[in-house]
């Protein structure tokens, strides 16, 4: 049987079960507020959000691969494109664009204009060092690690800090060669 053709982000988003974005947004807000109360230090909150995102990314990539019929990407450029056009759309219903490639094709920026995480949010003065959406960078890092790519993901621009868009820089550190032969039965 020929492999199924990869599905577009729009088709995928239309086919999955969905919930109101406000429930998602407000729940995320409750998590961030709980972390701030518990940890009392924005750097620690940033770390914890990143860790939560990483845990999600590690699990989310399975569903992504199962539903999207995306096959192995030929290079990092294609990977970035798939994340922006298919991944973000399938889970969050928004599309990102990919820009600012470096000459080697190992670093790029994902630009988000819509971000369902930040509706109703305003950073108070006491939380200026907070990367409110740090969970997203963790998700991208965790998901890519599961497909053998070690990456470093950093926020360059953040609308909550007064920038005009969200800019997430993804830097490919190394491709981890897959262990072969696979030992599924262990």
Q: Which of 2, 3, 17, 184 binds another protein (CB under 8 A)?
A: 17
User: Quick one: CA dihedral 46, 50, 51, 56, positive or negative?
Assistant: positive
Q: Is 180 left (phi over 0), alpha (psi -120 to 50) or beta?
A: beta
The interface region with another protein, picked from 38-46, 72-80, 147-155, 172-180 by CB under 8 A, is 38-46
Closer of 62 and 78 to another protein (Cβ): 62
Say whether residue 160 binds another protein (CB under 8 A).
Answer: yes
- The one among 1, 2, 4, 23 contacting another protein by CB under 8 A: 23
User: CA 87 → CA 19, 65, 71, 96, 97, distances in Å?
Assistant: 17, 10, 13, 9, 12
Q: Which of residues 119-148 bind another protein (CB under 8 A)?
A: 119-123, 125-130, 135
Q: Given the structure tokens 């009392």, which residue do they identify?
A: 40
Question: CA angle at residue 38 from 34 to 41, to 5 degrees?
Answer: 105
Residues of the shown chain interacting with another protein in the complex, contacts defined by CB under 8 A: 13, 16-24, 26-31, 33-36, 38, 40-42, 48, 52, 55-56, 59-60, 63, 90-93, 116, 119-123, 125-130, 135, 159-162
């Amino acid at each position: 049987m020929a492999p199924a053709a990869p599905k577009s982000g729009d088709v995928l988003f239309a086919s999955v079960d969905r919930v109101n974005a406000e429930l998602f947004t407000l729940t995320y807000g409750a998590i961030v507020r709980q972390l701030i109360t518990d940890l009392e230090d924005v750097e620690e909150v940033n770390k914890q959000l990143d860790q939560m995102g990483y845990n999600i990314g590690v699990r989310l990539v399975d569903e992504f691969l199962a539903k999207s019929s995306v096959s192995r990407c030929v290079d990092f450029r294609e990977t970035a494109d798939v994340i922006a056009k298919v991944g973000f759309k399938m889970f969050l219903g928004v599309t990102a664009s990919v820009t600012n490639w470096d000459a080697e094709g190992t670093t790029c920026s994902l630009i988000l204009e819509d971000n369902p995480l930040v509706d109703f949010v305003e950073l108070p003065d006491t939380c200026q060092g907070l990367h409110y959406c740090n969970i997203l960078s963790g998700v991208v890092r965790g998901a890519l690690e599961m497909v053998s790519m070690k990456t470093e993901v950093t926020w360059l621009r953040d609308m909550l800090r007064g920038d005009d868009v969200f800019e997430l820089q993804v830097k490919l550190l190394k491709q981890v060669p897959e262990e072969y032969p696979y030992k599924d039965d262990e």
